[in-house]
Amino acid sequence: MLMLRSIRKMSHQCSIEAFNKVINTTEEKLKILRQNIAIAKQDVTISLAKSMESRLEGENIELQKQVAGLKRKLCEAEVANGTKQISITSPVNQPQTVIEKVEKVKDVLVKNKSKEVKEKKKNNPKVKPEQNSEVTVSKLDFRVGKIVSVQHHPDADSLYLEQIDVGEDKTRTVVTGVVKHIPIHEMENRSVVVMCNLKPAKMRGILSQAMVMCANTTEKVEIIDPPKDAVPGDKVSFEGYDGEPDSMLNPKKKVFEKIQPDLNTDNNCVACYRGVPFTIKGKGVCKVKTMKNSSIK
């Protein structure tokens, strides 16, 4: 009886140990299974990431192609509208770059423009010097005048006050600063060359309406004499510089100041503009007595 109880007890203990062993084995298997599941998850994540990365790379390449196409169209449009393109050297050798295409378009536009310019030149003959935008002596109204009266300026010892006939209904009042160089008796009834389209300006309180033209240096002044047969109102002309003078010069444009450096006497004392004589048509040229190669103003 006692032995039977011992056997039963031993059998019960063996069963517990076996059961515990099964549990431990099962737990080990579960642990390994969990590890395998974790590894499998990582593999799946990596695989999905690689798949997504590959898809994104493909999309990126397509987008780059689209951007390059849009840039090319933009450059071509800008060149067509005259916008200058600046090429940037790329370290990567490309068989057909956007810059090369742009340069081709520019070459075509330049050739077309050159053709247009040549056609315009053929259709439009060259204009004469007096017809272009250059400021020339044709802008100045030079006339023959005659001093009908002269006196000293009441408020300036160095100035003469004259009344000059320039072929108009009334004489013009003119103030001239030649007292130190020309005596008053040489001024009386003298024929002179007068510039008539200067804007009238006050000189020591008296409005001067024209300017008597003279050859001058810092030490000497001589009045320009018209030809003997000239009469008040005769126009001074310059060969090759035809055109009507301005009715009145705009002081802000400084027309006379631009022309004056080209007004000089030549080796024969003839008054000239760029070597072209002051001429009264049919009557002769205008001269000074002795002053050669001198400035006129």
Domains of the chain: 67-80+99-125 (no CATH), 137-296 (2.40.50.140)
Token pair in block for residue 25: 């084995």
Q: What pLDDT does residue 68 have?
A: 82
**Minimum mean pLDDT range among 5-9, 39-43, 70-74, 229-233:** 5-9
Contact (CB, 8 A) for 196 and 141: yes
User: If pLDDT is split at 50, 70 and 90, which confidence band does 29 have?
Assistant: confident
DSSP 132-170: SSS--GGGS-EEEEEEEEEEE-TT-TT-EEEEEE-SSSS
The stretch 85-89 carries a mean pLDDT of 58
pLDDT of residue 253: 93
Query: ∠ CA 248-254-258 to the nearest 5 degrees?
Result: 115
Calpha distance 243→237 (Å, rounded)? 9
In the DSSP assignment, the letter for residue 186 is H
CA distance 60 to 176: 86
Question: Beta partners for 285?
Answer: 279
- pLDDT mean over 114-142: 70
Q: What is the pLDDT of residue 130?
A: 44
Query: Cβ neighbours of residue 57 under 8 Å, at least 6 residues apart?
Result: none
Q: And the tokens for 208?
A: 């001067």
Write down the mean pLDDT value for the chain. 83
CB 214 within 8 A of CB 264: no
Using one digit for the tens of pLDDT, what is the confidence trace for 232-257? 999 999 999 998 999 999 999 999 99
Q: Which two tokens stand for residue 111?
A: 């050739």
- Residues 201 and 203: their CA atoms lie apart, in Å, by 6
Answer with the residue of higher pLDDT: 12 or 141: 141
β partners of residue 184: none
Per-residue confidence at 19, pLDDT binned at 50, 70, 90? low
More confident residue, 183 or 110: 183
Task: Quote the pLDDT of residue 215.
Answer: 97
The vertex-86 CA angle with 85 and 90, nearest 5°, equals 125
Residue 87's SS3 state is coil
Within 10 A of 295 (CB to CB), how many other CB atoms are there?
Answer: 14
Give the pLDDT score at 6: 60
Higher per-residue confidence, 138 vs 58: 138
Dihedral, CA of residue 210, residue 213, residue 216 and residue 219, to nearest 10 = -50
The most confident of the ranges 8-17, 55-64, 110-119, 156-165 is 156-165
Task: For the chain, give the percent of residues with pLDDT over 90.
Answer: 54
Confidence of residue 131 (pLDDT cuts 50, 70, 90): very low
Burial environment of residue 296 by CB neighbours within 10 A (0 to 12, 13 to 18, 19 or more): buried
Give 94 or 251, the one with higher predicted confidence.
Answer: 251
pLDDT of residue 206: 95
- Indicate if the pLDDT at residue 126 is higher than 80: no
Contact 223, 211 (CB under 8 A): no
pLDDT of residue 129: 46
**Mean pLDDT, residues 204-227:** 95
pLDDT at 42: 75
**150-191 per-position pLDDT tens digit:** 999 999 999 999 999 999 999 999 999 999 999 999 999 999
**What average pLDDT score do residues 91-101 get?**
54
Q: pLDDT tens across 248-294, in order? A: 999 999 999 999 999 999 999 999 999 999 999 999 999 999 999 99
Where residue 86 falls among pLDDT bands split at 50, 70, 90? low
CA distance 295 to 297: 7
The amino acid that residue 187 corresponds to is: M
